[in-house]
Structure 1
Amino acid sequence: MNGVIVIDKPRDFTSFDVVAVMRRLCGQKKIGHTGTLDPMATGVLPLLLGKATRAASLLDDTDKEYRAGFQLGCCTDTQDTTGKKLQECGIKAQKAQIEAVLPYFRGNIWQIPPMYSAVQKNGQRLYTLARQGIEVERDKRPVTVYELILNEFDENTQSGVLTVRCSAGTYIRTLCADIGEKLGTFGVMSSLRRTRAAGFSLEDAVSLEDAKRLSGQGTLEERVRPTESLFLSRPALRVTGAQAQRFRNGGGLSLERTSVLPQNQKDGAVLRVLSPDGNFLGLGAVDMEKAELSVLRLFCEAGG
């Protein structure tokens, strides 16, 4: 199989657990994912099959959307409810107070990665150090929160739900903790469901149980989407037969001899390259110095 299958990851599974299950169901070893989800998180986990694994490094900057539960009044070593409780605070927040602080966390903001994260410090994963009881200084990192909405909040239980649409690399756990701090109390993430990633939503996803059933029926491949579906936001360029052959073999295409629109002729612009019959060949990147569309990544066989 070559392409993308979107899994609705169940709780308490790591992303690698899901990959292991799907390797068995698909009968192939070459499977990757587009970004990990913590074990407590559920939701959209696009998996790359076969040649589609070549796309992994090109998807790091895709935006994501989450529905996150949070609890005010306590903090843990992991910034979520799976961790060890460290402190509690009796201060109660009101819904209006939360609404008032949310604008501080919209737009371009800075976050300090949590110790229980895969970020590396001096060649070691932070979570490895955290499990040894070691805490180190971490540098702030820029992230972007495009949308942050308070969906519900119970003032009695001090628990609520947020919708967050953000850039890759945003820690929702840290966002919950920082909101709590801004309110003069503590905050932890109590649940997390990813509702959109890499351009896919929950409507596109299949549960692991359904994947097992479809595999048993021999119809799982019907849920595999073409690799091109990862890049539908990129402009498409249909080329001639001769140009398709050259591109397949790694050769750049003269911009003057293609139909690349003027608005797309910007250095570094990425386009989907299609054969005369509309088959996806790969991605090309505009190189204005050479006045050509260079091969960025092929998803077809060379010369085929």
Structure 2
Amino acid sequence: MARKRKGRDISGWLVVDKPAGMTSTAVVGKVRWALDAKKAGHAGTLDPEATGVLAVALGEATKTVPFITDALKAYEFTVRLGQATNTDDAEGEVIASSDLRPSDDEIKAALSGFVGDIMQVPPQFSAVKVDGQRAYKKARDGEEMELAARPLWVEELLLIERPDADHVVLEMTCGKGGYVRSIARDLGEALGCKAHVKSLRRIWSGPFQASDGLSVTQIDAMARTPDLDAHIQPLEVGLADLAEVRCLAESVARLRNGNPASVIASDVEFGEEVWASFEGKAIAVGIYKSGELHPTRVFVDHGA
């Protein structure tokens, strides 16, 4: 028999401003310990050296993680021109270099080729699975792989600053599954000068802003106190990209049991994915059909 996981049944979101040098998994572990939470997970991995928004889902909010993962997100990153590395970031070994330094206008012109629906090849050092094994494990063993290109929606890619001839600061807004390191690598190839990511920060992800995130130091200072609980955002924040319908009192039990039930909706189309609320609380996510919600995810009420 599996051992029952200990901790509190708390649900919601805690936004962390992840520091460099810490894995996303370690941040989740820190949050779970600090809140004595029974269940926690994050919405979108950040590389260990990256900083910024890491939204940690607690309890029933973990059921809304896919909606944050699929949402638009924005990154600010510094690109080092003139050097390519085997990891496509500053942690790797330099494998090629160039004395060419493109002008700002040349960089801006090249950036336009990375906007819209694009295809990108993940870095060799990435978590993509190849023959059942993570690519980074194979890369560490010196194995070179032909990784398949993947689609990515890039809404915007802007030149923000040019601190010096060797560096440019870019800001990218994109959809799910983007590799900023691949953008830097491919930009360097397009410009003929080689490039890699020197630093990376996720400034927002869906409804969550880095400016609202707690540092790990703050989390440690408030651990196991009501002060930290006060920073938990409602589960419903993770449903911001879905239309809301309201359910009747008599529909609550039916929906929570996974059965279709009547809802009150406006400006919702047949077959649309929506979430149902009762007195402001999320009851279920599902598909709207002819006045009823057909639930695909239901939320347990722990009385919190």
TM over 0.5: yes
Q: Is the 8 A contact 2:73 2:204 kept in 1?
A: yes
The reply to whether residue 231 of structure 1 matches residue 239 of structure 2 is yes
Question: Letter of the aligned partner of 2:270 in structure 1?
Answer: K
| Residue of structure 1 aligned with 2:256, choices 217, 240, 248 | 248
Question: Letter of the aligned partner of 1:278 in structure 2?
Answer: G
Work out the CA distance in 1 between the residues paired with 2:26 and 2:100.
40
| Residue of structure 2 aligned with 1:185, choices 184, 190, 193 | 193
Q: Which residue of 2 aligns with 1:299?
A: 299
Encode CA deviations 1:82-121: one digit per residue, 9 max, x unaligned: 1111111111211111011111111111101111111111
| Residue of structure 1 aligned with 2:175, choices 159, 167, 172 | 167
Encode CA deviations 1:200-243: one digit per residue, 9 max, x unaligned: 11122111111122226531100001110101232221121111
Work out the CA distance in 1 between the residues paired with 2:146 and 2:284.
42
Q: Which residue of 2 aligns with 1:205?
A: 213
Question: Letter of the aligned partner of 2:189 in structure 1?
Answer: E
Q: Is the 8 A contact 2:65 2:238 kept in 1?
A: no
Encode CA deviations 1:47-73: one digit per residue, 9 max, x unaligned: 011121222344431211000011110
How many aligned positions are there? Answer: 295
Q: 1:287 offset after TM fit, Å? A: 4.4
Query: Counterparts of 1:39-188 in structure 2 under 5 Å?
Result: 39-156=48-165, 158-188=166-196
Query: Counterparts of 1:33-44 in structure 2 under 5 Å?
Result: 33-44=42-53
Q: 1:28 offset after TM fit, Å? A: 2.5
Work out the CA distance in 2 between the residues paired with 1:300 and 1:294.
17
| Residue of structure 2 aligned with 1:259, choices 243, 264, 270 | 264
| Residue of structure 1 aligned with 2:274, choices 271, 276, 279 | 271
Work out the CA distance in 1 between the residues paired with 2:117 and 2:79.
22
TM-score of the aligned structures, taking structure 1 as reference length: 0.92
Q: 1:278 offset after TM fit, Å? A: 2.5
Q: Is the 8 A contact 1:46 1:198 kept in 2?
A: no
Residue range with higher mean Cα deviation, 220-229 or 279-288: 279-288
Work out the CA distance in 2 between the residues paired with 1:216 and 1:3.
16
Q: Is the 8 A contact 1:76 1:83 kept in 2?
A: yes
Work out the CA distance in 2 between the residues paired with 1:155 and 1:5.
37
Q: Is the 8 A contact 2:246 2:265 kept in 1?
A: no
Task: Report the 3-state secondary structure (helix = DSSP H, G, I; strand = E; otherwise coil) of the residue aligned with 2:118.
Answer: strand
Q: Is the 8 A contact 1:15 1:36 kept in 2?
A: yes
Identity in percent? 33
**CA 1:94/1:155 → structure 2, altered by over 3 Å: closer, same or farther?**
farther
Work out the CA distance in 2 between the residues paired with 1:43 and 1:279.
29
Work out the CA distance in 2 between the residues paired with 1:228 and 1:250.
19
Q: What RMSD, in angstroms, separates the aligned Cα atoms of the two structures? A: 1.9
Q: 1:43 offset after TM fit, Å? A: 0.3
Q: Is the 8 A contact 2:236 2:281 kept in 1?
A: no
Unaligned stretches of 5+ in structure 2? 1-9
Work out the CA distance in 2 between the residues paired with 1:301 and 1:220.
21
Work out the CA distance in 1 between the residues paired with 2:129 and 2:241.
31
Q: 1:274 offset after TM fit, Å? A: 1.1
Q: 1:29 offset after TM fit, Å? A: 4.1
Residue range with higher mean Cα deviation, 195-204 or 110-119: 195-204
Runs of 4+ residues deviating >6 angstroms: none
Unaligned stretches of 5+ in structure 1? none
Work out the CA distance in 2 between the residues paired with 1:128 and 1:142.
23
Q: Is the 8 A contact 1:94 1:155 kept in 2?
A: no
Task: Report the 3-state secondary structure (helix = DSSP H, G, I; strand = E; otherwise coil) of the residue aligned with 2:90.
Answer: coil
Task: Report the 3-state secondary structure (helix = DSSP H, G, I; strand = E; otherwise coil) of the residue aligned with 1:264.
Answer: coil
Q: Is the 8 A contact 1:92 1:155 kept in 2?
A: no
Work out the CA distance in 2 between the residues paired with 1:155 and 1:218.
46
